[in-house]
Structures are given as C-alpha cells and as structure tokens.
A and B are shown apart, each in its own frame.
Chain A
Amino acid sequence: QQPVQSPQAVILREGEDAVINCSSSKALYSVHWYRQKHGEAPVFLMILLKGGEQKGHDKISASFNEKKQQSSLYLTASQLSYSGTYFCGTEGDDMRFGAGTRLTVKP
C-alpha cells in the first residue's frame, strides 16, 4: 500500500521554508526521499533507517518516527533549484512511493 503525502503542492518564495509529510499504514524498515524534475528520473535525497532518526543534506533535512510510521522532509531557506516534485518511498516488503508533492520556488 502506497504512503500518503501532504501537501499535494507548495509554492514558495526564495528563502522560505517548507515541510512535506509522509505517512504509512504499514510498519516500515526505512523511508526514502527523492526529488524529480520535469521529464527526468527521480534522484535520491536521503534514507532514514531508524525510528526518530534525523538526517540532513545541505539545507534539506528529514525525520522518521518509526512508531507513528511517519516521516517529514524539511526544506529551509529554499533555493530556486529546490523546485520539483518530492516523493517519499516507504520500505516494507518492497518499495512504494507516495503521489508526490510539487514544490515551486519563485524568485
């Protein structure tokens, strides 16, 4: 069963922050985050393996609450290059992806 992402879309000005949420009804081994630009393949951002784990990648970070089967992606001081669609992938017996959150960063 695929995870549920929210919000579906976000529009930001450069320098603003955003949070994207991902939740699953199944127990998870890990959560992945990917970004896809129009017409391109999804590109890996990070994996979170442990409950409560937080990871960071430049000004993009994420948390994973294993007990609640939820993860959040935090984008701070957004840049134009952050625009794209963000997908969470949840690992149970296979890898399932959410419907995506379309992020648009404007100058």
Chain B
Amino acid sequence: GAGVSQSPRYKVAKRGQDVALRCDPISGHVSLFWYQQALGQGPEFLTYFQNEAQLDKSGLPSDRFFAERPEGSVSTLKIQRTQQEDSAVYLCASSLTQGVFGKLFFGSGTQLSVL
C-alpha cells in the first residue's frame, strides 16, 4: 500500500472489554513496531517484529497485551480486559530494513478510549 494503515481510527471500549487493533505495514517492510502514546508524551515502545518473529516484547505493560504478525505482514495488537489506563493512541510503524532500521513510516494511529 501507499502507507501504513491502522484500523480502527477510533475505538471506545468499556472497561473489561477486549479490543483488537490492526496494522497494515507498507508492503515488503521487514520491521514492524508498536508504540503507545499518551497525551502530550512521546511514543512508548511496546513490541517489535522482524517479519513474523517477535524479537522484543519488553515494552508490553502487562500480560493483558498481546501482539502477533503471523505471516510477516499485517499485525494485530490485542488488549484483554481493558483498563482506563490503557487509554492512549496506539501507533504502528514499519521499516524496510532489519538491523539498522532506516526510516520509520508511521500509521495515523488508533485512539483507544476506555470508559
């Protein structure tokens, strides 16, 4: 595709609900990152994939957060039993290269609001 696509753009969830956030990276991009961005803050690293392999998930805040990229392209970030503190913008970024990453292309993000 022309850019990184994320869906949905906005998601409102009741506390305790499960949500799934989708990221379509640029075709052929090897590296894929998920970040959580609270209002007025920088993107906080969540997890990183190289193709289908999840190489780093040290930023996932709890075991309620789970990410996958089964075929090395589309990725899904799942949050189980959502809490109010999960409210944030979730950004996905992809890069053509692995190792030395090169330019990251960001999606527009999913704004999650947990009520």
Contact = CB atoms under 8 A, between A and B. Distances in A.
Contacts of A87: 42-43
Interface stretch (A39-47, A53-61, A64-72, A75-83): A39-47
Given A47-B103, A89-B104, A95 B45 contact: yes
Given A2-B42, A41-B108, 7 more contacts: A30-B101, A40-B108, A41-B106, A42-B104, A94-B45, A95-B48, A95-B104
Interface string B85-115: 0000001010000001111111111000000
Interface of A: 2, 5, 29-30, 32, 34, 40-44, 47, 49, 87, 89, 91, 93-100
Interface residues of B, number: 22
B108 A32 contact: no
28 contacts: A2-B42, A2-B45, A30-B101, A32-B103, A40-B108, A41-B106, A41-B107, A41-B108, A41-B109, A42-B104, A42-B106, A44-B103, A47-B102, A87-B42, A89-B104, A91-B101, A93-B56, A94-B33, A94-B48, A94-B55, A94-B56, A95-B33, A95-B45, A95-B104, A97-B43, A97-B44, A100-B41, A100-B42
